[in-house]
A = this chain, B = another copy of it.
Amino acid sequence: MQDVALNVSGLFEHGRAVHPNSRIVHYDDDVVTECTFAEFGDDVVRLANGLRDIGLGEGDVVATLCWNNPAHLAAYLAVPSMGAVLHTLNLRLHPDQLAYIVEHAGDRAIIVDETLIPTLALIIDRLTVEHVIVVGDAELAAPPSIAVHRYADLLAGAATTIDWPVVPENDAAALCYTSGTTGNPKGVAYSHRSIYVHTLQISTGSAFGFSDADRVFPIVPMFHANAWGWPHAAWVAGSDIVLGDRHLGVDHLARVITTLRPTATAAVPTLWTGLDTYARENDVDYSSLRLAVSGGSPLSTALVKRLADHDVTLTQGWGMTETSPLLTFSRPEPDTAPEDRIVKQAMTGHIVPGVSARIVGENGAELPWDGESVGEIQLRGATITGAYVGGDGADAFDEGWLRTGDLGAISPGGWLSIKDRLKDGIKSGGEWISTVELEAALADHPDVAEVAVFGVPDEKWEERPLVCIVVKEGAQIGAADLTEHLRDRVARWWVPERWAFVAEIPKTTVGKLDKRTLRGRYDTDQLDVVTPVR
């Protein structure tokens, strides 16, 4: 077979040549602009030529501090195609962490949305970058060592033809840093090969099956794990791409879905909850969605059921920054009994092609796929990282497999269930209690708005679960009601004795439950813990 590298320029040129009439739609509140892939493809090449004009080229790291918009998408395609490395910066990181990753990755340039200049301004004096490219008209005060350019100027004079370099497929195409809750963020380098293979994997009928009949709306920010790979896949498939910029309020999202009619979207459960609530009080139409994916946090059957009221079949995709990201997808097999469908939809998911998974017990032995045996999920595949940038976090790898730090089980048919983060798992009397399953069972109660469970020391059992609950406005429930609610839903010995009713659950920068903060509050007696009278 021909020795042809699997690389991003190949993906880019395919979409540009074969789907010139597909569209990029940019929603910016009251302003919606559109262009064709043909027009946009010219901009991608202009950007690459413009970056070359200011002295950037193969191997240079070009960062983005951007929302989901056309400039960001252009960078997704242009930067790796020219042999440079795209570094998507998580704009929600603490300034210290942001400065750390810019320096750690060796960024030479940053493309920044004008609305994010205040974020960049907090750290710019600490950075050794040479160029900042501002998308928009706002002014940026930068030290004299940094040249400030305007995105529009960079493109204005640039040519729309280019000879892409032949980049070896194992070279880095993009970097993304994990938003680890402990220690410094760790960098993941996606290769051209991994992006190419991941693009095909998630475009198969076993996953999202994107085609030119689709209109793809990735709500998930483009600074998270390649926006789940949707921008690349949609571009290659010729799906229209709807970009919602910084407008993550559910009113905006509901408006985009109702008026711009995407066929596919992906978001965290919090936003799906918001979309459900919003739909019960406003005139919306989500019926264009053939594919509605939740990810980033576990999905409850309650939420799946609530979205079904709006004709949305909510499914779960599981992935990690380290894994390109897609690992599993929870669409039930067609012969699944109707009563089992919702349960499957809320499961972590069915392993997708190209991903190998195993469960490893505490003694290091591989456990069977019996749906019962719980151990650490480990992963192997061409789209899964083998090392962090700079050799950080070497303990995350086990004989070539990535340790996920998740406790889970796999059913005989390759359906995977995450039971817990390894560090969140509760070992009570020698057996695991799953905080994820307890949380899901409690979230199923109609009066529960939010819930987080974590383990606390117990004299008799070593560890027992503590529940933090946010009750819905106006609802009147107590620990006894919820204990009763759990009776038929979890094993008897799982039912917690410790309950804390709180005003809100703290979240990490990526919207996950921040159990570390909760645990700190418990340790410093800031939680009012009650025990129901039996």
Partner-B contacts on A (CB < 8 A): 1-4, 6, 10-11, 13-14, 17-21, 170, 189-191, 193-194, 197, 200-201, 203-206, 208-214, 236-238, 333-335, 350-351, 353-354, 356, 369, 380-386, 400, 402, 412-414
Contacts and interface: CB of A to CB of B under 8 A. Distances in A.
A10 B382 CA distance: 11
Given A206-B238, A369-B17, A2 B384 contact: yes
Contacts of A203: 200, 204-206, 353
Given A1-B386, A212-B334, A380-B4, A18 B414 contact: yes
Nearest to A414: B18
A197 B478 CA distance: 56
B206 A237 contact: yes
B353 A237 contact: yes
A197 B194 contact: no
Given A17-B369, A380-B2, A204 B200 contact: yes
Contact of A1 (B194, B350, B351): B194
11 contacts: A2-B385, A2-B386, A2-B402, A6-B382, A17-B369, A18-B351, A204-B204, A204-B205, A205-B209, A205-B237, A206-B237
Given A10-B356, A236-B353, A334-B212, A385 B1 contact: yes
Nearest to A386: B2
Contacts of A191: 1
A382 B205 contact: no
A365 B130 CA distance: 42
* Most chain B beta-carbon neighbours within 10 Å: one of A1, A193, A369, A384: A1
B210 A413 contact: no
Nearest to A207: B211
B206 A205 contact: no
